[in-house]
Structure 1
Amino acid sequence: MTGILDHTMIRVSDLEESLEWYETNLQYEEKDRYEGDGFTIVYMGPENMHEEGAYLELTHNEGGDELEVGDAWGHIAVRVPEDELQSSYDELMDNGVDDYRDPESCGNRYAFVKDPDGHEIEIVKRDFGEKWSIDHTMIRVEDADEALGYWVRKFDYVDVGRWEADSFANFFLEPEDASKEAMSLELTYNYDGREYTLGDAWGHLCIRVDDLQEDWENLMLREAPEYRDPESCDNMYAFTKDPDGHEIELIERDPDAESLFPF
């Protein structure tokens, strides 16, 4: 499998409000949309996305106006040029985004804002990638060794960076041959043994695979949890879970297809 992170999905309570927020503040555009029975899915991203760049998937369920942002879900991080952290944050403030964690409070290394549903968005300085493109998705794990082993054995991911402090550690993972514009996965582990709640506002990570059935069989050989196999998903996608219960979708992506959805 190529193993590139294709998208990260979050649930939103008011789709139109969220679409306007991401279009206005991150200059995202709607890439594709699927209207299902009682739900809507929208793929979003910057205008000029890298071929290995990750989408943001917004999902809205009818009647899903009350969403719980659990603490097992961390944030997405978006890129801005190295010298534009403060000006980019100021731009968001001018747009009416709430002041959450400004650059100064973060040592001028990064900053944070929140979207209308309380999803945290980190702003990181990068000298590559389209402005506001997704740099990484962070999730929290309760056992670092187990989580790292899962991503290495199941998906052939490699450790591309880490920060180990007195009370926590951050591990960055991605496929060995991924481009720098691809989205990374950040695992955050706190040493105090705390447990986390998933909530329903966080949806899943999605991995782009070469062959859905073949890669699924490979995952089963590697003893990944069989959550929703390809057959149960009409052979369009499949889902497994990591040791902390985070859902992971597998999908084939045809770059020449008219739609981003395999329907």
Structure 2
Amino acid sequence: MAASSIRPSLGCFSSSSPRFPVSYLSRNLSRTLHVPQSQLFGLNSHKLLRRSVNCLGVAESGKAAQASTATSQDDLLSFVKNDKRRMLHVVYRVGDLDRTIKFYTECLGMKLLRKRDIPEEKYTNAFLGYGPEDSHFVIELTYNYGVDKYDVGAGFGHFGIAVDDVAKTVELVKAKGGKVSREPGPVKGGKTVIAFIEDPDGYKFELLERGPTPEPLCQVMLRVGDLDRAIKFYEKAFGMELLRTRDNPEYKYTIAMMGYGPEDKFPVLELTYNYGVTEYDKGNAYAQIAIGTDDVYKTAEAIKLFGGKITREPGPLPGISTKITACLDPDGWKSVRDWCVEIDHIGQH
């Protein structure tokens, strides 16, 4: 209840009240109003009492509101910490669906998990990945009828794919006509062998040489304008763990790896801050990440509380049992929260 709506009556402070005897009341009103205690029982005592009671009421309601807010924050933090979350899929738009499916399956070893056409809304979806949707992080491609090109923008960075042999994968990409923007070799300052390639729509993929892993689709890199703010948001609102950070002053950037488990077993979000850059053009190609949650309603509350913006209020999708909420992080990157056992389309394309 707002403080302005509290109107305590003088009757609650009568001398018979065990909570507020006259002696207690007069001492505290005297301190509150900064007047001698004896003046409280003069001709203006009722005015002073009314004035003081209102002050006390406002103070008490303020304390109650602060306590309520603290409790709410504690409850939401506890929920976020204990919520069973995982990264479900990443969504983006392509200009030729069959061409992209061919590139991902032949060059990157993905499987086409399912495909569906929605003619009434003029788009087609294709889900690709390295395992079933109910246990793996997958890609959701969207083709909008008649749109053959998108702007990837400067804010999106790359996707990460873990492979057994980077050099062999790069040779295959070249043989299939793909573009290699960074030849295989150790990462600067480290030993991990990497390479960078581009798909037909200009999305960059970092190939990382690793041993067998349950999640070959292992990274999504996005650029942010305030790394500390982004880390705090993803920890508190999304329940992610800060796995590691690395500062590279020579090249003027810092990265933070965040996720729901170790990098070699779970997909991670790689946040990159370039010194002095606070905003990015996000283009219109990359769409969003979908994350599973036990409760989209509490999730939406946490997002609001910790600096995010809700773009779709939590609730069920028309005609199916899946419940979702959609939001923007402080940098404007979009995420969708699904509450479901069966993975279904999130309604954004």
Normalising by the smaller structure, the TM-score range is 0.7 to 0.9
Is 1:248 matched up with 2:330?
Answer: no
Contact 1:50 1:129 in 2 (8 A): no
Contact 2:149 2:201 in 1 (8 A): no
Is 1:11 matched up with 2:93?
Answer: yes
Q: Secondary structure at the match of 2:112?
A: strand
Aligned equivalents of 1:67, 1:232: Cα separation in 2: 30
Q: Which residue of 2 aligns with 1:63?
A: 146
Q: Which residue of 2 aligns with 1:225?
A: 309
Aligned equivalents of 1:173, 1:120: Cα separation in 2: 20
Alignment CA distance shift 1:228-1:106 (3 Å): same
Aligned equivalents of 2:335, 2:346: Cα separation in 1: 17
Alignment CA distance shift 1:102-1:253 (3 Å): farther
Give matches, 1:79-118, under 5 Å: 79-81=162-164, 84-104=165-185, 109-118=193-202
Greater Cα shift, 195-204 or 213-222: 213-222
Q: Secondary structure at the match of 1:244?
A: coil
Identity fraction in percent: 24
Contact 2:160 2:208 in 1 (8 A): yes
Contact 1:143 1:189 in 2 (8 A): yes
Count of aligned positions: 255
Q: Secondary structure at the match of 2:312?
A: coil
For each residue in 1:140-167, what CA deviation from the matched residue of structure 2 results, as whole angstroms up to 9, or x when unmatched? 0011111111101111211112211101
Q: Which residue of 2 aligns with 1:169?
A: 254
Contact 1:49 1:130 in 2 (8 A): no
Q: Rg: which structure is higher?
A: 2
The CA deviation at 1:50 is 8.7
Q: Secondary structure at the match of 2:242?
A: strand
Is 1:157 matched up with 2:244?
Answer: no
Which stretches of structure 1, 4 residues or more, deviate above 6 A after TM superposition?
A: none
Aligned equivalents of 1:253, 1:207: Cα separation in 2: 10
Contact 1:236 1:262 in 2 (8 A): no
Q: Which residue of 1 aligns with 2:155?
A: 72
For each residue in 1:18-74, what CA deviation from the matched residue of structure 2 results, as whole angstroms up to 9, or x when unmatched? 11111111121221233221111211112x459642101101111322200101111
Aligned equivalents of 2:114, 2:344: Cα separation in 1: 6
Q: TM-score w.r.t. structure 1 length? A: 0.87
Q: Which residue of 1 aligns with 2:223?
A: 140
Which residue type is aligned with residue 162 of structure 1? T
Q: Which residue of 2 aligns with 1:185?
A: 269
Alignment CA distance shift 1:44-1:139 (3 Å): same
Contact 2:242 2:259 in 1 (8 A): yes
The CA deviation at 1:221 is 4.4
Which residue type is aligned with residue 19 of structure 1? I
Bigger fraction of residues in helix: 2
Bigger fraction of residues in strand: 1
Alignment CA distance shift 1:128-1:160 (3 Å): farther
Q: CA RMSD in A?
A: 2.5
Q: Secondary structure at the match of 2:310?
A: coil
Contact 1:144 1:189 in 2 (8 A): yes
Q: TM-score w.r.t. structure 2 length? A: 0.67
Aligned equivalents of 2:246, 2:108: Cα separation in 1: 28
Instruction: Give 5+ residue unaligned stretches, structure 2.
Output: 1-82
